A and B are shown apart, each in its own frame.
Chain A
Amino acid sequence: MYCKKIHALINSYIDGELPGKLKEEIRLHLESCPGCKQLEQDLRALVIKPLKESSLKEPPADLWFKIKAAIEKPGPLTSFVDQIIAGINIVFPLRKPVLAFAATVLITVIAIVLAIGIPYNSRETTAMDLAEQAEFIYSLDDAASVYSGNGFGLGTAIEEFLL
């Protein structure tokens, strides 16, 4: 086995992350190659050992109290939003909150539409609209007559035809 291949696999070898046959091949190579053996020893002593020997660090003693305080006293907005989300989750026990929210919005829109009715659906509203539109067209006609009567016309054939 070439030294270059050993260099590529030496970390996995040290970490015990190689299959048995390959591990044995590397072990035999290390016994016969001083350069590769030195690399293995250096990695173990200068890089891995200091990290492995570093002790577990404990967080500051007051950290738990900070976390507990943050849990027990959420901000008013967060609390309100959380309550809404919790309510939605009870009604729609969907795994994705987005889907639950979308379902809620959809149902709310349908409920509003059913409660107040679709706009322009009543006969009174339609009749009012038609009257307003007729009034508007009539006013346009008036304006056109005024302009043409006071010499504002352009003298075109279409104007003559219409007026």
Chain B
Amino acid sequence: MQEIPKDTLTLAQQGDIRAFEDIYRTSSGFVYTLALRVTNNRQDAEEVAQDVFLKVYKNIRKFRFESTFKTWIYRITTNTAINAAIRRGRRAMREIEYNDNIQHTHGYEPQQEKIEKDEKEQIIKSMLETLNPKQRSCLVLRDIEGLSYEEISRTLKININTVRSRLKRARESLLALRKKGVIKNVL
């Protein structure tokens, strides 16, 4: 995610709704993707994203540029998404599936390409489903959002060695499952 210009943030801090909309347009894709991957549920991800932007709007005056805005919004998103995932886990409800190809595909897409995309999407969903929300958030921040260990450590407010161990365990567990064929190998 690209950093938001300081001028835009300052205007948003003064209550400028257009500046806040700019922030939304720049960061909503990243926030939604992170929320979707951590919750692994489209409906939860939408609620989390909405909640995140309302929290950002309410608290942006308190943002003092001590960390980057990217770290700040990722932290809010991860915490909100982990809580949503834990709540869902407690309810043990998995009836709502997401299908982004139906919901968010715009325009013509060749059939074969669509099938491959669906399969890849299903693999990612199955992989993430086997992890707990904390491991998931580490893995998503690293492999999907592309953050460094140091950035993940600051975002999640955890020790860098915890980042290392969570990533190691998550990847080892996923590799074992993929080798056993529990998660389909099509790539």
Please report A residues at the B interface, Cβ cutoff 8 Å.
Answer: 8, 11-12, 15, 17, 42-43, 45-54, 56-60, 63-64, 66-68, 70-71
- A56 and B33: CB pair below 8 A? yes
CA distance in complex: A63, B25 (Å) = 11
- A17 and B32: CB pair below 8 A? no
- A57 and B32: CB pair below 8 A? yes
Which of A12, A42, A46, A52 has the most chain B CB atoms closer than 10 A to its own CB? A46
Write the nearest CB–CB distance from B165 to chain A, whole angstroms. 9
Q: Which residues of B contact A70 (CB under 8 A)?
A: 50, 54
- A51 and B164: CB pair below 8 A? no
Given contacts A17-B148, A54-B121, contact A8 B143 (CB under 8 A): no
**B103 sits at the interface (CB 8 A):** yes
CA distance in complex: A52, B147 (Å) = 12
- A17 and B168: CB pair below 8 A? no
Task: Give the contacting residue for A15; candidates B36, B100, B149; CB below 8 A.
Answer: B149
B67-75, B78-86, B89-97, B170-178 - interface stretch: B170-178
Q: Which residues of B contact A53 (CB under 8 A)?
A: 120
Specify the main secondary structure of chain A where it touches its partner. Answer: helix
Given contacts A60-B46, A64-B24, A68-B17, contact A47 B174 (CB under 8 A): yes
Q: Which residues of B contact A60 (CB under 8 A)?
A: 46, 103-104
- A57 and B143: CB pair below 8 A? no
Write the nearest CB–CB distance from B161 to chain A, whole angstroms. 10
Task: Give the contacting residue for A57; candidates B36, B148, B187; CB below 8 A.
Answer: B36
Contacting residues of chain B (134-187) with chain A, CB-CB under 8 angstroms: 139-140, 142-144, 148-149, 164, 167-168, 171, 174-175, 178-179, 185, 187
- B139 and A51: CB pair below 8 A? yes
- A50 and B120: CB pair below 8 A? yes
- A63 and B54: CB pair below 8 A? no
CA distance in complex: A163, B47 (Å) = 82
- A71 and B28: CB pair below 8 A? no
- A71 and B17: CB pair below 8 A? yes
- Tell me the nearest residue of chain B to A14, going by C-beta: B171
- Tell me the nearest residue of chain B to A54, going by C-beta: B124
- B49 and A43: CB pair below 8 A? no
CA distance in complex: A11, B148 (Å) = 13
